[in-house]
Amino acid sequence: MKQYDVIVIGSGFSGSILSRILASRGVRVLLVDRGQHPRFAIGESSTPIADLLLRRLGERYGMDDLVSMSTYRGWQETLPQLSCGLKRGFSYFKHGRCGNTVRENFLGESSLLVAASPNDEVSDTHWYRKEVDAYHFQQAIRAGVDAIENNGVVDIRFRGPHHGPIVVLNGRENLTADLIIDASGAGSVAARINERPALTKQLRTHTCATFAHYRGVNSFAAEFNARHRDDRATEPFNADAAAQHHLIKDGWAWMLRFNNGVTSVGVTLNVGETIHADFTTQRRCFELLDRRLDEYPSLHRILKDAQRIDPVDDVVCLPRLQRLYDPVINARCVLMPSTAAMIDPLHSTGIAHALSGVERLSDLILSDRVYQIDHLDRYRDAVVKEATLIDQLVHMAYRSINHFPRFTAASMIYFAIAIACEEQLLAGESPDYYWLANDRSVNEIVHQCDQALAQNGNDDTVIDRVRELIEPINQVGLLDDTVTNRYAYTATKTA
């Protein structure tokens, strides 16, 4: 059996970047994947937290390309061959049904724009994962990582604390390593093989999704501006150059635009509590995208002539997006955050959570602390508490999604927390918990906001209460009535 120090399962960007970092420091790494690159994938929208983590990894390990990929300008100047999208922030539009066309009686009545960067040069990006993942995979190989594609892991055999586990591949090849890192994402390979119980029932969010990539999706910002005869969808930034959220009944549709003419389009719906509701909601989710959102005229106009390019056979349907596993199988087998937990794409937290795992695990492995139970316990606690907090924030937003003023307030709770975390990173700190997930005062704020948003009664009273609660962490004036849902000054990212 060939011996490795580390075997990484899954060659998405997080598994490949971690493998590359380890190999660059002399660690013998095998990267194994049941598929091959290039391949369709989503989880495409970066954020300031993700980009700050990417920059820090690049600077720490001397990988200039990671630093370049942390801003739109850097990406375009050094890696123009890799498609990406300009992401200035987050844009939201509330849509009516039954022929009702989106039109505001006043600015901000059914629209919200939240900046995440002050200009295009330092902007965040959308990652065209088919090309980006393939690039990071090749960079890992160039760094000395051994790689096996088209060969999945079918068994993991543990031989006691003093011997590394044996990994059995589909081709019946046996390999051994001191440590296994599961970066397989939704596959959750190590958890399934070891029959670890899913903890997903602990999560409050319950959503399904349908998605694909398209060409020929027209500009919604232009559609919205034309309807109002002004520039409200392009100030303070173009709403198309964003993680664009279209709020529909019981859910939302996303649109992420890349600079190669491709747009990622998906529909996510909140699922009810019964099996019947599950099936009905999943079917509706599929039909909405299949019919190009024809229930919503403004959206249908920009989608009706679009051509699906990926996947070629049909759109992807996931009956439930959420998952949660204990990220530590044992001292010889650990799950990346993106494998252990998935909540929802609503707040674009996926890339940041994945990169937090790259940072933490590379540090633990290279310092030889990964086998120490107290360090693994801290890793477990951080991953689970971060996922739990994100779940609470997302659940609050979904509960309010049919009522735009309350949805806006729920979203501002997330932005306040994310911006506070960004400030920590900009100050050079290395938080033990991202999104302030271990801060008791923050968790109490979230709990009280949750209670406030669940109440019936006057919207202004509820929103005033949320504004009061988030005041200690509201560093940039969120929930300011005078800005009419146009936040140009929330960005902390300056370089």
pLDDT of 218-275, one tens digit each? Answer: 999 999 999 999 999 999 999 999 999 999 999 999 999 999 999 999 999 999 665 5
Contacts of 27 (CB under 8 A, 6+ apart): 5, 6, 365, 366
Contacts of 171 (CB under 8 A, 6+ apart): 151
Residue 276 has pLDDT above 90, yes or no: no
Give the Cα separation of 245 and 90 in Å (integer).
8
The reply to whether 173 and 310 lie within a common domain is no
Q: Is residue 334 part of a domain?
A: yes
The reply to whether 156 and 64 lie within a common domain is yes
Whether omega before 161 lies within 30 degrees of 0, making that bond cis, reads: no
The reply to whether 159 and 17 lie within a common domain is yes
CB neighbour class for 374 (10 Å; exposed up to 12, middle 13-18, buried from 19): exposed
pLDDT at 430: 86
Which of 170-174, 356-360, 427-431 shows the lowest per-residue confidence on average (mean pLDDT)? Answer: 170-174
Local confidence band at 97 (pLDDT 50, 70, 90 cut-offs): low
The most confident of 160-164, 212-216, 273-277, by mean pLDDT = 212-216
Question: What is this structure's pTM?
Answer: 0.96
Tokens of 320: 């439930």
End-to-end CA distance of the chain: 48
* Contact present, 17 and 60 (Cβ < 8 Å): no
The reply to whether 142 and 180 lie within a common domain is yes
C-alpha distances in Å from residue 195, one per residue of 155, 319, 326: 11, 21, 12
Q: Checking DSSP bridges between strand 307-310 and strand 207-215, what pairing results, if any? A: antiparallel
pLDDT at 96: 81
The reply to whether 344 and 453 lie within a common domain is no
Residue 321 has pLDDT above 80, yes or no: yes
Q: Is residue 388 part of a domain?
A: no
Q: Is residue 396 part of a domain?
A: no
Residue 494 has pLDDT above 90, yes or no: no
Give per-residue pLDDT as tens, 357-375: 999 999 999 998 988 889 9
The reply to whether 276 and 330 lie within a common domain is no
C-alpha distances in Å from residue 445, one per residue of 49, 194, 431, 439, 480: 21, 37, 19, 10, 18
Question: Which of the 8 DSSP states describes residue 249?
Answer: T
For residue 136, the enclosing domain spans: 2-81+127-201+323-378
Mean pLDDT confidence for 452-475:
94
Q: What is the CATH number of the domain that holds 183?
A: 3.50.50.60
Residue 316 has pLDDT above 80, yes or no: yes
Q: Is residue 390 part of a domain?
A: no
Mean pLDDT of the chain: 94
Q: Is residue 294 part of a domain?
A: yes
Tokens of 116: 């995440």
Closest CA to 185 of 54, 16, 385, 313: 16
Residue 339 has pLDDT above 80, yes or no: yes
Domain count, the chain: 3
